[in-house]
Structure formats: structure tokens, C-alpha cells
A = this chain, B = another copy of it.
Amino acid sequence: MSETAAKLVYRFGDGIADGTAEMRDLLGGKGANLAEMCNLGLPVPPGFTVTTEVCTDYYENQQQYPATLGADVEAALEHVGKLVGSGFGEKECPLLVSVRSGSRASLPGMMDSVLNLGLNDETVEGLALRSGDRRFAYDSYRRFIQMYSDVVLGVDHFEFEDILESFKEDNDFSMDTDLSADDWAEVITRYKACVEQALETSFPQDVNEQLWGAIGAVFSSWHNQRAITYRRLHAIPDDWGTAVNIQAMVFGNMGDGSATGVAFTRNPSDGTKELFGEFLVNAQGEDVVAGIRTPQNITERAREAAGSNAPSLERLMPEVFTQFKAIYEKLEGHYRDMQDVEFTIQEGKLWMLQTRAGKRTAKAALKIAVDMASEGLIDERDAVVRVDPASLDQLLHPTLDPDAEREILASGLPASPGAACGEVVFDSDEAEKLSGQGHQVVLVRVETSPEDIHGMHAAQGILTTRGGMTSHAAVVARGMGRPCVSGAGGIDIDYSAETLRAAGVEIKKGDLVTIDGSTGQVMKGRVATIQPELSGDFGILMGWADKVRRLGVRANADTPADAAAAREFGAEGIGLCRTEHMFFDADRILAVRQMILAENEAGRRDALEKILPMQRKDFTELFEIMHGLPVTIRLLDPPLHEFLPHGDDEIEHVANAIGVEPARLKRRVSELQEFNPMLGHRGCRLAITYPEIYEMQARAILEAAIDAGVSTGKPVMPEIMVPLIATKAEFDMIAARIDAMAEKVRKERSADVGYITGTMIELPRAVLKAGEIANSAEFFSFGTNDLTQTAFGISRDDSAKFLAEYTAKGILEVDPFISLDIEGVGELVRIGVERGRETRPDIKLGICGEHGGDPASIAFCEEVELDYVSCSPFRVPIARLAAAQSSIARNERENAAE
């Protein structure tokens, strides 16, 4: 920039602007929108923007401003003065300005604004004269000194508040309004003394010194620690820089003809198309935010609805209101989105200070997007892009009433969204019993195991004190759609006393607690919740999303109930049916245990023979519900010890039930115990040792496929998935057994048996050998949970203890078990995809880790062109929308590249 004569300063005002909304990179968001409003002919106080390039240049050149900047700023200021009929530093008719930062992306931690700049001991008298309100002038001056000293000079604002407080005490004043102009003048004297003491120099009286001080402070704040950290975390380049906006002040506090307010062009809570906003008469913008006085409604309708006596703007200043209504319609039409605007009325004249896209709830976002598309303001693709997929969670689960009071006991991980309230129980059997008696319960456990499934089903919500986002409790709860808080380490459970302690409070069995699985909070007693309500808009938007997305969306579903929920939410198949949960049903766990305790293959086969008809029934039901949609079934994965009881009492009980010596059962339990079960004798390793287990499962799947094909009239083509493959040899050995079983079933049933066999890619070695494995495997499903565990060497169940610290310290941006670690684990997925496709170009590729329901991860899946993602049933809508947005983004990228 220093070489070319780039424009350093962009002016706006009086219906003309040098910039436009498109110049966000150069002018920052605020500057670009001010220019745009100006170009739209809206009443914007005149001003100018120092570009982001000046900031970049400043830092590249030892913090020197470009040579011509001084002259350009001076000329622009003169121009502004001309437009408003005043002059910067002029005694009689002083021009006052605001100085605000404004970068390309909104960036917390940067200097916000300095108002009333241009006041000094002389110009304050000019302002008094011109406004006819000496008290207003001195109040403005003291505000300026306080603000400037704080953000530019670095004198803490508490110092000024202390001075004001003691002045009020000394004079027995209770409110600021009790102070007269002379009182403020006295306060100002003390303020200036305070500055002089702190800085050993007096408060600047030179208005140019004031201005350049403020510009420098904006630039400096680009490099303060908070801004740097925020940029690093959000991958915002340092060299974007910030712009500085300098704008003539307008005053909403110049008497009863003045006012200031904020408004949304639609209702940000529910999306209703109505002007929604508030204002205060005779006030500055900061007063609205401060919440000292109750703001008034803008429209009559809103006032009536609120039952307020304070007059609306519509009634109080009908002309201004009409003008404002026209402006907000123009703005929304122009920006084609709901706007959040700030305005000031100075002595009856309306000024627009800011416009930007308004924040909104999920419900509002949905309605606004669908409405705007119906109104023709945007098209369907725009509507799809406008809704944050993650926010849909709010629509699918009960949420806490934001106005309800909460006594927070502890915080854990937001493991499964939704709020739930119930009586505390510490035991799954009891949860089931009480629930059967009509009680609402929250199951509280240190951790859950597959033996708790019935209790989790019976409970309103689940709370654990150990385990991460993908612990057993979390995964199962999400699958069931039960709210769950996991890993709430601040809670101490005493099972024998049936109590828990947290935050110094003791909660007994039967006491009420409320958990919020969307935030991880655990609260004492009942906190009011709001039930979800799925509007027609939801279905409409999902329909539009489905039209544009390329990625298939399947669900992880293990039970008929899961499968039904999955279809209801629009899943196009099952991407992961975990068969282990089926082994825990009360009527079959005995046979499973007999199998594990068998001394030899014959004994195991006997026990498996008993399980076969039940497994077949499971699969038949699942296939019938899915009605021809693809179903991927993962063969048994967990280590066998998960199916055995632990603890002496339980062992004794189970041993009696299956008729073996407790000592023998105990020995087997101890034999099967593992140091690191996640890396132990599980997955396909079980089938290498006990091939008969997978043979039984293959038979059950294939026979069920035949049966369901007949009952539904839709042929079923199951996808049989082998877990935890590390070598092609493992896969081949198991696939050969499956093929042999298929041949057997084909002959026995004289039926066509169609199926494909594939594998999870969930170990780094499988990724590297994907090219070889694809010679045999017909599909890959990336198991990104285990892949994340092995790539990072982090157990998801143990990670809660330290991963929070990792994200807090900025070592990791997000928990890699929640959102795929794209540069690490993502590279593994990429390698697996490339090598797999090289061998078998039409190989079916999906993902079935928890990441399948995370929008950022879905965008990555689109980028590497997977065929589908699979996630918990309740996340299917999120995945559908995220997939659609990923498709759109990719098309745009590709079009841009052409």
C-alpha cells in the first residue's frame, strides 16, 4: 500500500458515500454498512472511515501512519463539519465525533468507541451555547473524559466512578440527575486531577491530539491479548487489520424531542414479521443498554401487548415513526435479512447509527428464513443457509425456561441435549420401578454400563460424574434422545447412603434435580422447562435442504424405537446398528454369559444357538421398519468382559442363575479383565478367536433379510460391517466365514441372499492399509470416535479431566470428540478415502462416529466426498441441514474457482 496511492479515507454523509456494503474487507463491517445506508439515502450522521489497510500498513512500518493520512483526515473532518455546520475544535460551534473500531469480522476485546470527542474546556461552552443546555454540555464533557481516559489513556474507569460517588455522597445527591452544570464542572476538575496524577500529564485539550490518540488506541487494540487469542482461535489472520470510523455525534439526550433506541425488523424470539424495538426519550444509547430506565415500545401494538402505559414512538412522534418504518422496510428489503438497527432522534430529527443482521433464536431463524423465502425476498437456498444447523437442537428437545431461577449445583459436559427434571435415583432397577409407578426420575450414576440401559430408558434424564462426551452414558442417551449431563466431576455420589453432594449441598434419593443436557448444568429442584414444538416451517426448510444436499444422511440406531425415530427425522437408512446392545436384553444376557463361560467351541455354539432366534427377530423388525432402506449392521464389538457382572454380590447372583460355581465365574471375570479395554480383545479380534460368534450374527442377519424381504415386499440388502480391522488378513478371514454362512443359508432357505461386506476404518493402521483392505471390503465406514482416540492417544472416557483445560488454554479449539480434528484425524480420513477409492473407485464411504451429526465435521465429509454421514436419530435434521449447507458452500467455492 505504501507504494501505490491507495485511498486511505472513505467518506460518507448527506446521501453520498465513497464505499459500499461490499467493501467490508477494506472498511470493516460497521464502516461498510454506514456507507451503504448513506447510499440508500438514509439519514446517517456524516463521517468517514480510515481503512483496514492503514492499520496493516501501520504495523508493517514500525507503527508509523502513512504520510498523507494526516491531511486526508483533516480534509474529511472539514467536510463533515461543513455538512453539519460546525468545525472540529471550533469554540462557538464545535464538531463532536465518535471514534469506533470496525473490522471485517466482529472481534470481542477490541476498543469499542469513544463518544463526544472534540470537547475541551473551550468547546464545552460552545456546545452549551449551541444546545442551550449547559448541564447537557458538561455532562457530555465528563462522560468524554471518563471514556477517553479509560480506553485511550488507560486510567481505570473505577477511579472516575469513585470520584463521582464521593462527590454525590458529599452533596447528599442520590441520582446523577441531581447534579447541576456547575456540579458537573466540579466533577470534571476532579477527573482531570485524577488523570494528571495517574499519567503525570494533563488531560489533552488539543482536539487533534484527542483524535489521533483515539485512532492509535483503535489500532493498538487490534493487538491486545484478548483480540490475538480470539483471532488465533477463530483462524482470523492478523493482517486483516481494523478500520476506524469517525462520525459526527448526534444527541438523543437534547430534551424531550430527542430519543435513542434499538430495533429488530422482525421479532428475534419467534420470528414474527413485526417491528420489534425499544427507545428512551432524552437519553443516550448507553442508557438503553444500561437498563436503568424502562424503555418504551416503538409500535402501538407492542405497547398494547405489553400492557404498558408509557407511550409508543408511533404515538409520541408519529412523523419520525413513519419515517423510521419506511427505513426499516427499506433496510430489510435491501439486505434481505432481519436487521438489528440503532437510531437516535435529535430534536425531532431521525438519525440511523448502525444496521446489521440481527441475532435470533433457532425458532425465529427458521420462521424468518421460511417466511422470507415465501415473500420472495430470498430464495430457498438462501433460506437453507440462514439457519444454523446446531441451533435445531433447541427445537427438538425441551429447553429450560430462560426466565426461570436456577440454583446450580455443578456443571458437567453437555452430553445429550434437552432439559429434564425428576427425582434422583442411583440405581437402574429402581429407576425402572419408580418410573413404572408414574414417577419422573433422573438416573444418577458415577458411570453407566450396558446393564443400565433399562434404567436410562425409564429415566427422564441421565447424570454421570465420570466419562466424556462419548462415554457410554452420552452415546446411549443421545441415541435414545434422553437429556444427559456426563462427567460432572464436582458431584460426589455415595451409593450406600443414597445421597449426592455438590456445591456444599446434599441431595437425597427422591429429591428433585433438573439437568440441562444442552449446557451441562445440574440444578437443585425443579426449573421450569419449555416443551419443543415442531412447526410446519421445520418440515418446509428440511425439504428445501434435502433438495440441495449431496451427502446421504443415515442414523445410528440399534433398536426398533431408534429406527422409528430415525425415519421420523428423515434418515435415509441406518449407518450403524450396534449389535452389542441387543445382547443385554434380560432374556438373552444369560445365554450370552453362558457363551462367554463355555470351556470350548461346542459350548459356545450351544449358547449362540439360543441367541440366534432372538437376534434374527431383532434384525427382522429393524429391516421391516426401514422398509428397504439400507441398513449397516456392525458385528459384535465390545470386549466380552462388558457382558459379565462385576462385584462379588452380582457375581454370586449371576453364577446361581446360570448354574456355575461363583469362583469359576469370578475367575473368568478376572481373566477377561483388561488394562486398556479400548485397546483390548474386542472388535474383529473376538471373531479371530471365536469365529462362531460372527457366524451366528451373520446367519441372523441373512435370515432376517430374507424374512423382512418377504413381509415388506421390499428386498433387503444388508451391509455387514466388521469392526476394528487393522489388517486385510483379519477382514479376509472373517469375510470368508460370512460368505460360507451365506452359501449355507442360501441352500437351506432356497432364497436369494444379497448382502455386502465392509469394514469400519477406525484405526490408523487401517487407514494406511485402506488400499489393500478395499480389495476385499465393499464399503468403509469411518469410525471417527476410535480414530480420534487412537490418533490423539486419548481415551474419550478419560478425556473430560484434561480436555476442558486444553480448550480453555487454546491448545485445542474444540473438543476433537465433538468436532472432527480436521488437520489431524481429518488427514487420516482423507488418506483412507484416497487409498480406498484408488483400489475400488465405487467403494461406498460413510462416517458413523459421533462427528456424523456435527455441522463442521459434515462440511469436511462433503469436502472429501463421502457418500453419507450417520448420526444419532435426534441429530438427523441437523445433519440434513448441515449437509445441504455444505453442498451449497462447495458449489459456490467451485463456481468461484472457475
The CA of A366 and the CA of B80, in the complex, are separated in Å by 96
Contact A675-B678, Cβ < 8 Å, known A790-B790, A827-B768:
yes
A158, CB-defined interface residue at 8 Å? no
A679 near B795: Cβ-Cβ < 8 Å: yes
- The smallest beta-carbon distance between A777 and chain B, in angstroms, is 16
The CA of A824 and the CA of B769, in the complex, are separated in Å by 7
**A679 in complex: contacting residue of B688, B729, B789, B806, CB < 8 Å:** B789
Interface 1/0s, chain A 649-684, versus B by CB < 8 A?
A: 000000000000000000100010011111111000
A76, CB-defined interface residue at 8 Å? no
Closest 10 pairs between A and B when the two form their complex, measured CB to CB: A679-B795, A676-B795, A765-B824, A764-B764, A680-B798, A763-B793, A729-B811, A676-B676, A765-B791, A675-B797
The CA of A678 and the CA of B674, in the complex, are separated in Å by 12
The CA of A732 and the CA of B349, in the complex, are separated in Å by 57
A791 near B811: Cβ-Cβ < 8 Å: no
A sample of 19 more A-B contacts (CB under 8 A), given A676-B798, A765-B791, A765-B825, is A674-B795, A675-B678, A675-B795, A676-B795, A678-B795, A679-B789, A679-B795, A680-B794, A680-B795, A681-B801, A681-B802, A688-B802, A724-B793, A726-B794, A763-B792, A764-B793, A764-B828, A768-B791, A768-B823
Count A-side interface residues using an 8 Å CB cutoff. Answer: 51
B726 near A792: Cβ-Cβ < 8 Å: yes
- The smallest beta-carbon distance between A234 and chain B, in angstroms, is 15
Closest residue on chain B to residue A471 by CB atoms: B675
The CA of A753 and the CA of B237, in the complex, are separated in Å by 37
Query: Which of A724-748 touch B at CB < 8 Å?
Result: 724, 726-727, 729-730, 733
A689 near B802: Cβ-Cβ < 8 Å: yes
Closest residue on chain B to residue A789 by CB atoms: B679
- The smallest beta-carbon distance between A274 and chain B, in angstroms, is 48
A679 near B679: Cβ-Cβ < 8 Å: yes
A749, CB-defined interface residue at 8 Å? no
- The smallest beta-carbon distance between A491 and chain B, in angstroms, is 12
The CA of A823 and the CA of B765, in the complex, are separated in Å by 9
Contacts of A726 in B (CB 8 A): 791-794, 824
Query: Which of A798-813 touch B at CB < 8 Å?
Result: 798, 801-802, 805-806, 809-812
The CA of A764 and the CA of B667, in the complex, are separated in Å by 36
A762, CB-defined interface residue at 8 Å? yes
A406, CB-defined interface residue at 8 Å? no
- The smallest beta-carbon distance between A272 and chain B, in angstroms, is 46
- The smallest beta-carbon distance between A834 and chain B, in angstroms, is 14
Contacts of A685 in B (CB 8 A): 802
Closest residue on chain B to residue A468 by CB atoms: B675
A interface residues (Cβ-Cβ under 8 A, vs B):
489, 492, 667, 671, 674-681, 685, 688-689, 724, 726-727, 729-730, 733, 762-765, 768-769, 786, 789-795, 797-798, 801-802, 805-806, 809-812, 821, 823-825, 827-828
User: What are 15 A-B pairs at a CB distance below 8 A?
Assistant: A674-B795, A674-B798, A678-B793, A679-B795, A679-B798, A680-B794, A681-B801, A688-B805, A724-B793, A726-B793, A729-B812, A762-B793, A765-B793, A765-B824, A790-B793
A733 near B809: Cβ-Cβ < 8 Å: yes
**A793 in complex: contacting residue of B786, B810, B821, CB < 8 Å:** B786
The CA of A795 and the CA of B680, in the complex, are separated in Å by 6
Contacts of A667 in B (CB 8 A): 492
The CA of A786 and the CA of B764, in the complex, are separated in Å by 13
Contacts of A806 in B (CB 8 A): 688
A811 near B675: Cβ-Cβ < 8 Å: no
**A676 in complex: contacting residue of B677, B681, B811, B824, CB < 8 Å:** B677
Contacts of A821 in B (CB 8 A): 765
Contact A729-B810, Cβ < 8 Å, known A765-B824, A791-B764:
yes
Contacts of A794 in B (CB 8 A): 679-680, 726
Contacts of A801 in B (CB 8 A): 680-681
The CA of A518 and the CA of B821, in the complex, are separated in Å by 44
**Which one of A489, A730, A801 has the highest number of Cβ atoms from chain B below 10 Å of its Cβ?**
A801
The CA of A811 and the CA of B688, in the complex, are separated in Å by 9
**Which one of A676, A681, A793 has the highest number of Cβ atoms from chain B below 10 Å of its Cβ?**
A793
Contact A793-B679, Cβ < 8 Å, known A768-B828, A802-B688:
yes
Closest residue on chain B to residue A769 by CB atoms: B824
The CA of A428 and the CA of B762, in the complex, are separated in Å by 40
A689 near B805: Cβ-Cβ < 8 Å: yes
- The smallest beta-carbon distance between A784 and chain B, in angstroms, is 13
**A763 in complex: contacting residue of B489, B765, B791, B809, CB < 8 Å:** B791
B675 near A677: Cβ-Cβ < 8 Å: yes
The CA of A794 and the CA of B679, in the complex, are separated in Å by 4
Contacts of A489 in B (CB 8 A): 671
Contacts of A677 in B (CB 8 A): 675-676, 798
Contacts of A674 in B (CB 8 A): 795, 798
The CA of A769 and the CA of B791, in the complex, are separated in Å by 11
B733 near A811: Cβ-Cβ < 8 Å: yes
- The smallest beta-carbon distance between A763 and chain B, in angstroms, is 4
Contacts of A802 in B (CB 8 A): 681, 685, 688-689
Closest residue on chain B to residue A821 by CB atoms: B765
Closest residue on chain B to residue A472 by CB atoms: B675
Contacts of A765 in B (CB 8 A): 791-793, 821, 824-825
